[in-house]
Structure 1
Amino acid sequence: MHFLVLATGPQRDLTKAIQDAGHTYDLHDPRILYLYVSESENGYDALFNGLASLETPVRLKGKLYDAVIPRIGAGLEYGANIVTHLNENMSIFTTQTGAGLLTASNKLRTTMKLSSHGIRVPRTIGAYSPLHPDFLVKKVGGLPAVAKTLTGSQGRGVIILKDEEQTNTTLEAFWRAETPLKLQQYIEGGKRDIRAIVVGNEVVSAMERTGAKDFRANLSQGGSGRKIELTSDQKELCVRASQALGLDFSGVDIMIDEQGKAYAIECNGNAGTGIIKITGHNHFTDLVKFIEKKLGKESKDTKVESTEKAQIPLTALEEQALKKQLRDEKEMLLAENDYLRKQAEDQERRKKFPGLYKMLGM
């Protein structure tokens, strides 16, 4: 099989799983791809590589790809369009839908979608202009409560509200910065939460994270993790959450309260790989197997000339893989202009609202 990996950063664990299974891949940063929609009723929509070093953009031939694996961080809004285009307009299987990735990136929309599918979530209220603090806090069960920006990962943009004064000043800061927020019931879980990796209808690995500095248990915030086995009910909750968002592959975060009730907190369309080191299991191998089964193809069935590759010594194959990885990483570096521009815009906002950014830990 031949995969198209859409990524905005190195993907060593994923590409290793693809190669170990005997498959091949192309890796492209979606931010440098041109999405073409034809006027033809017969469907001649296409995708072009718009890398700056190319004199003329090169068409990506859809028929060469068996499946698309998105690993999109920066530029998700446009990247999700690329995923939708490949899946719906070019009829290529994708492990995640563009709509699902966008929903997962928005914490309020995620909570709404999970609730609409009958999945237990903490009491939540969304606000653009939080001008009635008492009302908002009461709706989520009182203090303490958790305020979150609608986007953000690795524990950034999350604040615990402990008293009336802090709550009032925090909500006022959100209002003055015109930053919508999600106010949520505080779940007492002993500074612990659970990250589960879902592939298809199965939880393939899970870890329990414990916060070090505060209530946030994210590894990126200094938290620690340990491998755990979920109960059947917890596994079902994670799978249902992932499927509710249209994701065949995701990282689902859940919390267990003092009474043992499990709550779905978030679904991550681009889950970090720290869990691989903690559990000792590369979940991308499960993802590749899932795609093989989904498409009914064995590892030996690849659209690239596998018979020729079989005659190349292993050392040469390894050299080829390394060269390809270096080319891929160079391609991603050439696409960083957009990222740098967004960084400059973010710096301007930080200068304008320093107090809010400090409060959010961003």
Structure 2
Amino acid sequence: MKTGWIVFNGNVTHSKFTELVDWLSESGKEAGFHMVKVKNNELLATIENGKAVIKGKYEKEKPDFIIFWDKDIRLARHLEKMGFKLFNNALSIERCDDKSHTFYVLADHGISMPKTIHAPLIFKNSSISDHNHLETIMEELGFPMIIKENYGSFGAQVYMIQNKEEMIAKSTELIRLGIPFIYQQYIKSSHGKDIRLHVVGDQVVAAMLRKSEQDFRANVTNGGKMMPYNPTKEQIDLAVKCSQIIGTDFCGVDLLFGPEEEPIVCEINSNAHFKNIYDCTGVDVSKFMMSYIKEKLEEPLHD
């Protein structure tokens, strides 16, 4: 029996997160794996005698695979350096976790995305002494525009900006706090509406439509309603292509609706929560994840 670790953040104790770890563990057991739930702070990434090793509770154990259900990129890279197989791999998690990085990686692949401008680096606690670049951004994006912090979940770090004063105020606030961010085109045709597609391997295994009557963000956390959705071939192909470019084994791809209903990429989530889509559609994404992992582990090794 192959052993799999589920590595998760040891300091995140809310049931919203821990129930997914338990869910993955049960699905893994049903797939025939011996599953072990491991906190990231139980794996101390250590350089000893010039080698990458792990210290702590699990230092002598060697799982056959690791589901890396966290965003501790340094630990993920360390485990890969030691030769462990991670689902998802460290690079793909890093690309998804940083929204600026996501759009940079997707660029030049024929992917439809909102016009995105990376905020120039200004060091923490500094101020904007030259507003010329803001004038250019306003000319390029107009109002309203969207400001997104590079790191964030559930739409909480996404802001609609209505005018120059709001733009300067929010930019100044984020710079003072040392938070990197992007400026982005507002897609009016998708106000309060998007699609979440769960991709596993080269398949979309579940999809739902999210709509909000009270917020420009469709996230369920912000009051959006969810309903089953039958995606078009164009939407499916785009979601799978994004996953392949980013390098994920499984992910959640959020698509917006363009003026002609054409799909536009909003963001990609490497550790996409799957409870909502299960409640909405009855599709258990975790079972597809485990089947995918089993197939990958059975593939012959190549020199």
Q: What TM-score results when the alignment is normalised by the length of structure 2?
A: 0.84
Task: Report what 1:113 is aligned to.
Answer: 105
| In 2, Cα distance between equivalents of 1:290 and 1:136 | 43
Question: How far did 1:58 drift?
Answer: 4.4
Task: Report what 2:40 is aligned to.
Answer: 30
Question: How far did 1:171 drift?
Answer: 2.9
Amino acid at match of 1:104: C
| In 2, Cα distance between equivalents of 1:21 and 1:177 | 45
Task: Report what 2:13 is aligned to.
Answer: none
Cα distance change, pair 256–29 in 1 and its aligned pair in 2 (3 A):
same
Question: How far did 1:4 drift?
Answer: 0.9
Task: Report what 1:158 is aligned to.
Answer: 158
Task: Say how many residue pairs are matched.
Answer: 278
3-state secondary structure, aligned to 1:59: coil
Cα distance change, pair 116–20 in 1 and its aligned pair in 2 (3 A):
same
The counterpart of 1:285, out of the listed 281, 284, 287, is: 287
Task: Report what 2:256 is aligned to.
Answer: 255
The counterpart of 1:84, out of the listed 77, 88, 110, is: 77
Give RMSD over aligned pairs: 2.1
Cα distance change, pair 67–176 in 1 and its aligned pair in 2 (3 A):
closer
Task: Report what 1:339 is aligned to.
Answer: none
| In 1, Cα distance between equivalents of 2:29 and 2:37 | 13
3-state secondary structure, aligned to 2:205: strand
1:12 paired with 2:22, answer yes
Cα distance change, pair 170–81 in 1 and its aligned pair in 2 (3 A):
closer
| In 2, Cα distance between equivalents of 1:176 and 1:66 | 44
Question: How far did 1:277 drift?
Answer: 1.3
Q: How many percent identity over aligned positions?
A: 26
| Preserved CA contact (<8 Å) 1:250 1:268 | yes
| Preserved CA contact (<8 Å) 2:43 2:59 | no
Task: Report what 2:125 is aligned to.
Answer: none
| Preserved CA contact (<8 Å) 2:52 2:81 | no
| In 1, Cα distance between equivalents of 2:178 and 2:80 | 35
| In 1, Cα distance between equivalents of 2:178 and 2:81 | 35
3-state secondary structure, aligned to 2:107: helix
Question: How far did 1:179 drift?
Answer: 3.2
The structure where strand makes up a greater share of residues is 2
Question: How far did 1:236 drift?
Answer: 1.4
Structure 1, unpaired ranges of 5+ = 51-56, 298-362
The structure where helix makes up a greater share of residues is 1
Question: How far did 1:227 drift?
Answer: 1.3
The 5 A counterparts of 1:236-251 are 236-251=237-252
| In 1, Cα distance between equivalents of 2:213 and 2:195 | 15
3-state secondary structure, aligned to 1:197: strand
Amino acid at match of 1:109: H
| In 2, Cα distance between equivalents of 1:139 and 1:28 | 47
Cα distance change, pair 169–95 in 1 and its aligned pair in 2 (3 A):
same
3-state secondary structure, aligned to 1:113: helix
Question: How far did 1:266 drift?
Answer: 1.0
| In 2, Cα distance between equivalents of 1:163 and 1:58 | 53
| In 2, Cα distance between equivalents of 1:27 and 1:106 | 26
Structure 2, unpaired ranges of 5+ = 10-16, 123-127
| In 1, Cα distance between equivalents of 2:41 and 2:150 | 22
| In 2, Cα distance between equivalents of 1:85 and 1:164 | 44
Q: Deviations over 1:163-222 (max 9, x none)?
A: 333333333333444433210011121410111111111111111111242101111111
Q: Deviations over 1:29-82 (max 9, x none)?
A: 112312244547xxx74323x3xxxxxx442422xx22211111xxx3xx2222
Cα distance change, pair 58–197 in 1 and its aligned pair in 2 (3 A):
closer
The 5 A counterparts of 1:139-288 are 139-140=140-141, 142-188=142-188, 189-273=190-274, 274-288=276-290
Rg bigger for which structure?
Answer: 1
The 5 A counterparts of 1:59-98 are 59-62=59-62, 65-72=63-70, 76=71, 79-90=72-83, 92-98=84-90
Q: Deviations over 1:211-254 (max 9, x none)?
A: 24210111111111111121122111111212222211111111
| In 2, Cα distance between equivalents of 1:185 and 1:134 | 15
| In 2, Cα distance between equivalents of 1:223 and 1:191 | 8
Q: What TM-score results when the alignment is normalised by the length of structure 1?
A: 0.71
Question: How far did 1:139 drift?
Answer: 1.9
3-state secondary structure, aligned to 2:105: helix
Task: Report what 2:12 is aligned to.
Answer: none
Cα distance change, pair 93–218 in 1 and its aligned pair in 2 (3 A):
same
| Preserved CA contact (<8 Å) 2:43 2:58 | no
| In 1, Cα distance between equivalents of 2:139 and 2:263 | 22
Cα distance change, pair 192–60 in 1 and its aligned pair in 2 (3 A):
farther
